[in-house]
Structure 1
């Protein structure tokens, strides 16, 4: 592990990475910089227009085929002719450019679970992706943020992009999550407190003794939803959990940054993890949060467990522990989609897929489909879903008169059994074992 040298100007983690990538000794909030990139990412929705812009620039080669990742995940396997043509354009570009990290159907997964799993992101990296949830990679101590397709095109050509250096909010965590409470409950609780614009164009930087109580899958979930508070990025410090994970996935040597003691934060939010309840977000904003006890019993039509937020193996283990020996309520649809092929295979080996199917759920190939109302689970007018995804805006998962309730996998699985919004304690007497659920 390499530690960066202390600089005279006190900076946050994000500011330190950006200063290094810009070749500067220090940066400050609001400063415009041009930074070198370690990885640029596109998917089957955002990469095709970026490729079109890349060609308009008369560029012939990407800056580094080892530092470009293209993942077909939003509408794959392709749902219609238009999406097939979009994916074809990306596939042909990847072949022509010799892109090292193109993941074809069969090897692919949901991008923000796939890239960490493949060891393509690490601490100290500067990463952009033409997808708003690129901020997920802050879980491993990288600066990662979403951009538009035009920015992606320029980045593929030059290996650089510009940033306005964000100011920061420090989120101090203490305690340990209790019962079925997970990282999803923590981030929904945070967004409920500060609002969907509470961290607008700021860095959410997590700290405190409570960080060590959160496993890596939970950190990925929390960083993933930083954008739902308006944040430019979310970032966790590098600790033994991070080091173990990065070694496990074979990531390149990390560069570890730590915030300076005198770094300035616009605000400090303190959260006792032991006091965070099982939390859901009612329609139509992630900030419309309630403790599960306040809203139990709401009728639902569908449950979705998966996505770049909660489709990792630990999420599936949680769902399986509650669904084991039980049945999905009559008249309710339960759709489960592992986030990557590797996770799917691990779930198969552990018997989780069998548990899901015996319970009456359907198991999907890895895809973003239901989350963005693309395919594999669209809601009709008047229907309501409980979903482990990240957004519940009007029309997000289907008809503009449908509704989405955001929840963690425990509440989602319990609701599938109850046939209504429910707490896991009401349907299962299982005691969650965090060490078992989050083992690698």
Structure 2
């Protein structure tokens, strides 16, 4: 009996020839990431001092201040200051601030590569699976153990295979793929599973779109989401001046607890309705619902491919009256690339407001919070009650294309008519 992609990575990291689902293994960690909101300030710094312990390898630790940058309150400013100073005191050179969302920084700096074990104090660390790595979120206590030992114990997850055939049509994006998948599996249907995305439709996606899919695996309860590394992955890493890492692939006789087959050519733009990410339907079932705010950004939907699509839809048009369009590039690098390409100018000319590259409104900490009774359509990853501000607000999740079209109409709208001709 063969092994899945996830099982092979865990076996290699544990120094074993074979592992099986449910088995407990101790694996060596290749990269450990902490952010400002759930980083060293949550027990880690204090406990390390109590133990008199040092970080096992500062070169494998990444600390990123993104949730609270730019700080909106004195408390946030104090947290960012503490995070910055702690990283410096520990000799951590991979500290990033005002550079963007943590998962995007891990991606574009090449800190996560195929075959690696990556852990982070943020649930969307699973985004790293887009390059064929095992990447997962962990708690602060587990991170303390990693920082001291360089290892972590894990239960090997059983795998779910999601097979996508066909080719995406105009105005349909990776966000629609993952929303459709979430709708089928459910918000808890993949709890402590590895969700492996395969098939011709996945193989055709550029890295920007693959990151989006792996990012939202945790919205199904998954331990990790993963896509096999291939030539597109290699080209991405080569552009960063990095080697291709260790490629693994699932065996033909690997066992999956569930297999799902879907056709991308039949996929329509999808919308996740409040208050759950798995309450998914085609856009035309909710088209016409009035919105107050449209938001493009975060580690899920603010990359260069996303901004290019938004600019394409907005070009020569204007955002609807009484509707706010806020755009937060996923990183400073994305911001600069979009600026040079003219995408940000196009968005601004249409009436959009460009925000700092940060977690921003997604996390509900600053930059575009929602008031009671307001409705937002967002390219982010979560829409539960109170996520982006008032618990009396409503959040719809959709692709950047659908968000842009909705901003133009002031109501939820299908992006495809704006891409015709």
The corresponding residue for 1:104 is: 97
| Aligned partner of residue 195 in structure 2, secondary structure | strand
Alignment correspondent of 1:222: 213
The SS at the match of 2:33 is: strand
2:28 to 24, 36, 60: 36
Residue aligning to 1:24: 16
May I ask how many residue pairs the two structures share in their alignment?
A: 420
Matched residue, 1:167 = 158
Q: Distance in 2 between matches of 1:227 and 1:309?
A: 12
Query: 1:181-239: per-residue Cα shift (whole Å, max 9, x none)?
Result: 01000000011111111111000012222222222111110000000111110110111
Partner of 1:11: 3
User: 1:250 pairs with 241, 247, 251, which one?
Assistant: 241
Post-superposition shift, 1:356?
1.3
Structure 2 distance, partners of 1:45, 1:385, is: 24
Write out aligned runs for 1:148-167 (5 A). 148-167=139-158
Question: Can you give the 5+ residue segments of structure 2 that lack an aligned partner in the other structure?
Answer: none
In structure 2, the partner of 1:392 is 383
- Superposition deviation, residue 53 in structure 1: 4.7
Q: Secondary structure at the match of 1:190?
A: helix
Structure 1, unaligned runs of 5 or more: 1-8, 432-440
**Map of 2:406 onto structure 1:** 415
Which runs of structure 1 show a deviation greater than 4 angstroms over 4 or more consecutive aligned residues?
Answer: none
- Maintained 8 Å contact 2:69/2:97: no
The yes-or-no answer on 1:265 pairing with 2:256 is yes
User: 2:266 aligned with 1:275, yes or no?
Assistant: yes
Residue 90 of structure 1: CA displacement? 1.1
The change in CA–CA distance for 1:170 and 1:57 in structure 2 (over 3 A counts) is: farther
**Distance in 2 between residues matched to 1:25 and 1:59, nearest whole Å:** 36
Partner of 2:20: helix, strand, or coil?
Answer: coil
Matches within 5 A, 1:36-435: 36-47=28-39, 48-105=41-98, 108-426=99-417, 428-430=418-420
Q: Specify whether residues 127 and 83 from structure 1 end up closer, same or farther in structure 2 by C-alpha distance, changes over 3 A only.
A: same
Deviation string 1:285-306 (CA, Å, 9 cap, x unpaired) is 1100110111100000000001
CA distance in 1 between partners of 2:416 and 2:104 (Å) = 29
Report if aligned partners of 2:159, 2:194 keep a CA contact under 8 Å in 1.
yes
Q: CA deviation at 1:317?
A: 0.3
CA distance in 2, matches of 1:54, 1:241: 42
C-alpha RMSD of the superposition: 1.2
- For residue 97 of structure 2, give the secondary structure of its aligned residue in structure 1: coil
The Cα shift of 1:241 comes to 1.0
**Given the two structures, how large is their TM-score scaled by the length of structure 2?**
0.97
CA-CA distance at 1:279 after TM superposition: 0.3
Q: Counterpart of 1:17 in 2: which secondary structure?
A: helix
Deviations 1:403-435 (A, max 9, x none): 000000110000111011011234x2455xxxx
Measured at CA, do residues 291 and 195 of structure 1 come closer, stay the same or move farther in structure 2, by a change above 3 Å?
A: same
**After the TM superposition, which of the residue ranges 168-177 and 244-253 deviates more from structure 2?**
244-253
Give the match's secondary structure for 2:191: coil
